Amino acid sequence: MRKKLFGWLTAIVCCSLVMTVVSCAKDDNLVNPDPGAEFRAMLKSLNWGDDTCFVYGHKTPDVDAVTSALSYAKLMNTLGYNCKAKVSSPMNRETQYIAQLFGFDLPELKTSVAPQTRLLLTDHTDYAQCVDGAREAIILQKIDHHVEGDIADATIPYVRREMVGSTNTIIYECYKELGVDIDDETARIMLAGIISDTRNLTKTTTCGIDSTAWWALSTQLGISRDSMAVINHNMEDAAYDYSGMTDEEILLSDYKDYEINSHLIGIGSLVCKQAEMDDFITRMLTAMPEVMKQKGRQMLFAKIDNLVPNTGNDKDVKPYIEEGTYFIYYGEGGKEAAEAVFGASLREGVCYTIEDLSRKQIVPLITKVL
């Protein structure tokens, strides 16, 4: 039953589309000869101010958060709006690897913004994941692929949320709708985000439009399918390289804060080889009390992808494949929330599902429980 439930959830997440825009009423039966005209009119209507507008992905940014901020800032600048991509916390090893490989510059670190600063947000929809000062800022746009968080769509002039695999896929659509050419540097930036957030089109949240963007961008850049597989493999190695890191740093390496119905929670996203899983889980559970104190959370969770040896024909390129998801918890109410979603604990602090689940799929389930 649970497997069917998750299967239906995945289908709904991948196929549903939520888009909120400021627009004039129109006859849906009329064909718009310029699909970008309404988009351009909306942008022109925004209160851009005289200072630079900053484009931010979420805190503890992954590749999609960083590259979506870069690619959307480039689009806005091309259209004549003064925007600059920034990051609110240091970038991970995977982001640094692919930026060096693809040869694009990473955004500068800017950890807070002053009141009334104009912001464009990508790849997040919760204040807990925003740059410090966002609550007092003016948020002009939100481009995202998660369920709506506490940054309510209705409070922002333009919101585009599509439940697809990568935020960069949405931005690819924006370029196409507006008729803006994608230069090779921008293509590399967007492709990096799509490879990472869909794991080269293999994640369950991947949709058809992700594949369309992936093919178009890789073809433009002349990158073969086999080369893409190698790039993805090397990106995974960089993302899963925990060498030289403390257990607390590992737990926070891909981590997001949430405020759900007055509950302050944090959810990490990790991976581990099956043979090392028991020890890894114990270490992460041991690190959770200090991290919870550091982050000011009431509950901590982490999903851990279970990596098993790949025995297929592509094992040389992809030595491991995901087989199920461990879900660990800590804090008052954490056990009840985790078990309501995943069933009885394997042992204290640990649940498991045979499904390969992303954090994007888990958050709505935890939200429903809380």
Burial call 73-99: b when 16+ CB within 10 Å, e when fewer: bbbbeeeebebbbbbbeebbbbbebbb
Report the pLDDT value the prediction gives residue 32, as an integer from 0 to 100. Answer: 58
Average pLDDT (47-69) is: 97
> What was the pLDDT predicted at 273?
93
pLDDT band at 183 (very low <50, low <70, confident <90, very high): very high
Confidence check: pLDDT of 68 > 90: yes
Produce one character per residue of 140-178: b if its CB has 16 or more CB atoms within 10 Å, e if not: bbbbbbbbbbebebeebbbbbbbbbbbbbbbbbbbbeeb
Higher pLDDT, 60 or 32: 60
Query: What mean pLDDT do residues 90-114 have?
Result: 97
pLDDT of 13 reads: 42
| Partners of 54 in the β-ladder | 84, 119
pLDDT tens-place string over residues 77-87? 999 999 999 99
In order of start, what are the domains of the chain with their CATH numbers? 2-232 (3.90.1640.10), 247-369 (3.10.310.20)
Q: Give me the pLDDT at residue 80, please.
A: 97
Q: Would the pLDDT of 154 be above 60? A: yes
Q: Taking a C-beta distance cutoff of 8 angstroms, is the pair 63, 98 a contact?
A: yes
Q: Mean pLDDT of all residues in the chain?
A: 91
Q: How confident is the model at residue 320 (pLDDT cuts 50, 70, 90)?
A: confident
- The answer, yes or no, to whether residue 27 has pLDDT greater than 60, is no
pLDDT at 78: 98
| pLDDT of 195 strictly over 60 | yes
Which stretch of 22-26, 82-86, 207-211, 300-304 has the lowest confidence by average pLDDT?
22-26
Written as one letter, the residue type at 288 is M
pTM of the model: 0.85
pLDDT at position 46 over 90: yes
Predicted pLDDT of residue 31: 56
Q: What is the mean pLDDT of residues 363-369?
A: 95
* Integer Cα distance of 32 and 360 in angstroms: 34
Task: State the helix-helix crossing angle for 93-102 and 225-239, rounded to 10 degrees.
Answer: 150
Cα-based angle 93, 99, 104 (whole degrees, multiple of 5): 155
Quote the pLDDT of residue 14.
Answer: 46
pLDDT greater at residue 32 or residue 173: 173
Q: Residue 274 and residue 326: Cα distance in Å, rounded? A: 11
Q: Where residue 12 falls among pLDDT bands split at 50, 70, 90?
A: very low
- Please report the DSSP string for 244-280 in residue order: T--HHHHHTTTEEEEEETTEEEEEEEEEEEGGGHHHH
Residue pLDDT, tens place only, 222-232: 999 999 999 99
Which residues are CB-contacts of 230 (< 8 A; sequence separation ≥ 6)?
A: 317
Is residue 257 over pLDDT 80?
yes
The answer to whether residue 341 scores a pLDDT higher than 80 is: yes
- Predicted local confidence at residue 130, as pLDDT: 98
Whether residue 88 is predicted with pLDDT greater than 90 in this model: the reply is yes
Query: How many angstroms separate the first and last alpha carbons of the chain?
Result: 21
